[in-house]
Amino acid sequence: MIAIVVENLTKTFNGFTAVDRVSFTITRGEIFGLLGPNGAGKTTTISMLSTLLRPTSGSARVNGFEIVKHEDDVRKSIGIVFQDQSLDEELTAYENMDFHGRLYRIPRAVRQQKIVDLLQLVELNDKRDNLVKTFSGGMRRRLEIARGLLHEPKVLFLDEPTLGLDPQTRNHLWAYIEQLNKEKGVTIILTTHYMDEADRLCDRVAIIDKGKIIALDTPERLKDELGGDVITVKASEPDKLSAQLKALSWVNQAESHDGQVTVTVQNAERHVAELARLAATHGIEIESISIRNPTLEDVFLYYTGRTMREEEASSKDQMRMMHRLHRR
């Protein structure tokens, strides 16, 4: 069964294309990730799918409902946890949940039992009568997830669910997400720019950059596509070394970034000595060499020629430039 179908979905703002003809499908019970840097179009995509934004063109169906023609039906069948907090800090955890349930017209007796069950699920039932303003960041995110599940949505949207949380809290939140997916069968679509988050949680990942999906598959298959190991070389002249390596038959890919060179090869151990000799021949000083298995960061680098960090910096520069032009 298909939960979401997206066909050529596009969104433009004053001539700027934030989402560019995106297409994908999500099966029921799947955890699907939109992975990419800030400004890539992730939040805009789920804002359209959750009917918060109208697409410029293209179409999508969520739980069988067309997102433009059947907005109310879409909204009734989904839950959403926003990137920015939307809890009322002057209410208790229980009151926030109760208010949400009333909006969805859940009968009182049913609502009260569901609130207790969900607060227990996210280990907040002992804090049910505490004001939200006293909660930590992790507790607030857990409460928002519980609130998003109160009306039993078939699809749950999580926009950067662990943004700004410490590693321990992130791991706990990942466990809750996995648990509710398995126990309740909820289809989850999450946006993230954390590689480890997408790798651990997602059945499939769509890597999105500059509004376009550049790769889509399971995390393992995406990493396997690189075809080998990854050698990272910190060198005095990374651009020069990268150019020399690209000419070698045993190098699948070589990219210079952040003052170092990332090289994808088969059987990396066999080629480290040759790489060092090549650098010495061209007067390039090597500071360090490391070998590891491919990550989703390497996949992003493979398809874009840039790291996620570089892409985020570029996006911020572009946003600043657009802001300056707008002010003029």
pLDDT higher for 183 or 26? 26
Q: Residues near 79 by Cβ (< 8 Å), separated by ≥ 6?
A: 148, 149, 150, 151, 153, 155, 156, 157, 186
Which domain covers residue 262, as residue numbers?
Answer: 228-293
Q: Cα–Cα distances in Å, from 144 out to 49, 73, 177, 266, 317?
A: 19, 22, 12, 45, 32
23-40 pLDDT per residue, tens: 999 999 999 999 999 889
The residue written with tokens 């399971």 in the block is 218
Q: Which of 193, 222, 251 is the last residue of a domain?
A: 222
Indicate if the pLDDT at residue 323 is higher than 60.
Answer: no
- Work out whether the CA dihedral 201, 202, 207, 213 comes out positive or negative: negative
Asked if residue 168 belongs to a domain, the reply is: yes
248 sits in the region (left: phi over 0; alpha: psi -120 to 50; else beta) called: beta
Residues 146 and 236 in one domain: no
Question: Is 39 in the same domain as 168?
Answer: yes
Q: What CATH number should be reported for the domain holding residue 274?
A: 3.30.70.100
Q: Considering the entire predicted model, what is its pTM?
A: 0.83
User: Mean pLDDT lowest for which of 52-61, 199-208, 296-305?
Assistant: 296-305
Same domain, 207 and 232: no
Residues 173 and 145 in one domain: yes
- Over range 168-174, report the average pLDDT: 86
Report the pLDDT averaged over residues 62-84.
93
Domain count, the chain: 2
β-bridge mates for residue 17, sequence order: 12
Same domain, 188 and 167: yes
Same domain, 106 and 12: yes
- Average pLDDT for residues 264-274, to the nearest whole number? 93
The reply to whether 316 falls in a domain is: no
Question: Pairing relation of β-strands 229-235 and 260-265?
Answer: antiparallel
319: tokens are 């946003």
Amino acid symbol at 315: S
Phi, psi values for residue 211, rounded to 5°: 85, 0
